[in-house]
Chains A and B, each alone.
Chain A
Amino acid sequence: MKSRINKYLLALGLMLSLLTLNSQTVMAHGEKALEPFIRMRTIQWYDVQWSKQKFNVNEEISVTGKFHVAEDWPISVPKPEASFLNISTPGPVLIRTERYLNGKPFMNSVALQPGGDYDFKVVLKGRLPGHYHIHPFFNLKDAGQVMGPGIWLDIEGDAADFTNDVKIINGETINMETYGLSNGIFWHVFWGLLATAWLLWWVRRPLFIARYRMLQAGLDDELITHKDRLIAKALMVGVPLLVYASYVMTTRQYPNTIPLQASMDQILPLPAEVNAGVVNVETLKAEYSVPKRALSLTVKINNNSEKPVHIVEFSTANVGFYNKALPLPDSGNSEPVLAVEGLSLSTIEAIKPGEEKTMTITAEDAFWETEKLDGLTRDADSRVGGLLFLADDTGKRYISSISAAIIPKFN
């Protein structure tokens, strides 16, 4: 009976410990899990590109891209005071060797500024062969994970070829995969043997029932012999001495150690790329039609540039709605979710220099539902957010952020 309970407990314990371990890998594909207003109005990704999709173990690739931190940051989401640009992978199948934010090395976490524009670059090195769906994403402290667009990567070759050598400050090169491993095993074995000897010293004699009976009979003295006491005294003095000696030895061998580093990086936003002030867009109204699965935005566009501009794309939560009247631009390998039905405009004429024009943009597509963005109309914070891309004939791009309360149309 007892053993069965123990087995159940053990099984339960193992299951629980595996569950806690595994929760990390499971989360990798929670890209649609967060409420739509968080995905639309926190980190607004664009221009995400991968240098390669097929590469070998040991080969380095990079992912670059830009993001705008929404001005209209949801009130219920903590401000991005500690943010960590991460890569969603099923464990370290790739290693991250370098990471940059606005061209500056970015090793820790950083405070992002709402309204700020950033570009990033992450260098990754293939470690385990396989076919993986990978996203750049932001871990936002107390808020969760905001996913960037995903892509399929193929790592080829042999895992055994992987090397990761790094130079430490005294010029020595170390292998990160095995550094300190045999030394660590040595100390575990060393103390393990001593502990085993102590346990065997006792286990070799009759244990529970025999000793319990003797103890109840008042024969304490016979249970602990003179030799036992001698060994215990040796342990009590010897173990601390050994610990001290090994500690001193280590400090002599590694005199220049530093504590774990726990600082934040300080990186300021780039000069404004979104809402840069040349072409201004004001969102007057946003309506979402539930039966049509269509978002209609009424916007007032003010063109202060010297050339006529036209609307190219509306992008929100990694879904891109492209202007139907234009050919689909080449978006490289970034694989954002492309809304097939695209974007229809109330007027197809370009906005002339100096002109102010009010128009309606309609983004109609089943993606509102499949990407789980339509929940917006039933949220406590029912505001829509995204980026509107405009361009002139030379291809010069103007980006504006869209933000408005949403009004549902149920029929």
Chain B
Amino acid sequence: MSVDLSSRSFRPYTGEKARITRAYDYLILVLALFLFIGSFHLHFALTVGDWDFWVDWKDRQWWPLITPLMGITFPAAVQAVMWEKFRLPLGATLCIACLSIGTWIARIFAYHYWNYFPINMVLPSTMLPSALVLDAILMLSNSLTVTAIFGGSLFALLFYPANWPIFGMFHVPIEYGNGQMTVADLLGFEYIRTGMPEYLRIIERGTLRTYGQYATPLSAFCSALLCTLMYTLWWYIGKWFATVRYLTKI
């Protein structure tokens, strides 16, 4: 560490100095807000993409696998900085809240007002419960390992049940065209997407299918395992990003 302060000689800032550091807090927070809204939302749109955009992509296998896996990236990196440098256990919640804001803005303006899709067809999923638990575990454990294993797993495991209250009702069956389909499927059929034919949907595919009804829990546990690794990886990315090498006096 390049800054040396001992507890005996420590004096908290007062007066003008305290006011300036507080102003600095708000400046950083506002900048962070915009940075995360833009960058995390973009990262999410490019990686999770259609699984998060469309209600008829939110299946039992790929959606609960991919979404937490890509959703834990920025939270891990920001937690690394916020916790290691400031003992602030809010990295995950801050990131996911920013993501939610960015996503809602895009859904309302880009999807609804610009491209005319009803908002219920492009409802975002939520990872806020997962993020709150991740922050709480990091704070209580003060350990990367514990947070990666338990926090990472819970982050993935909570995703599907936390979103079922939002999306479950889109899975009620409808008799249509001599078959059954979900409300979500019918939204996809009725509201024309020229660049998104039905066959492009990567849903309900792959070997997990051989487990039939248990596809979702298996998918979630698979995601939990991967989230543990992903969390660790992005923790180090965050740590590497937030160097104090150039900080000499504070």
Q: Chain A: residues with CB nearer than 8 A to chain B? A: 2-3, 6-7, 9-10, 13-14, 16-18, 20-21, 23-25, 27-28, 82-84, 86-89, 91-99, 104-109, 127-128, 137, 139, 141, 145, 164, 166-170, 174, 176-181, 183-184, 187-188, 191-192, 194-196, 198-199, 202-203, 206-220, 223-224, 228-229, 232-233, 235-236, 239-240, 242-244, 246-247, 249-251, 253-254, 256-262, 264
Contacts and interface: CB of A to CB of B under 8 A. Distances in A.
Contacts of A137: 194
Interface stretch (B7-15, B66-74, B220-228, B229-237): B7-15
For the complex, would chain B's binding face be called helix, strand, loop or mixed by DSSP majority? helix
Contacts of B115: 21, 24-25, 91-92
A401 B123 CA distance: 47
A168 B170 CA distance: 11
A240 B35 contact: no
A288 B38 CA distance: 54
Interface of B: 1, 3-7, 9-10, 12-13, 18, 21-22, 24-25, 28-29, 31, 34-35, 37-39, 41-42, 45-46, 56-60, 85-90, 93-94, 96-97, 100, 104, 106, 110-111, 114-120, 123-124, 126, 128-129, 131-133, 135-137, 139-140, 154, 158, 161-162, 164-187, 189-201, 203-205, 250
Contacts of A27: 194-195
Contacts of A247: 161-162, 164-165
Contact of B21 (A25, A188, A196, A206): A206
20 contacts: A17-B41, A20-B45, A87-B192, A92-B193, A105-B177, A107-B185, A109-B197, A166-B183, A170-B172, A187-B166, A203-B25, A207-B29, A209-B13, A240-B154, A251-B164, A253-B168, A257-B168, A258-B182, A260-B201, A260-B203
A96 B191 CA distance: 7
A224 B87 contact: yes
A95 B192 contact: yes
B198 to A, nearest CB: 5
Contact of B172 (A83, A168, A191): A168
Contact of A262 (B166, B168, B183, B203): B203
A25 B249 CA distance: 54
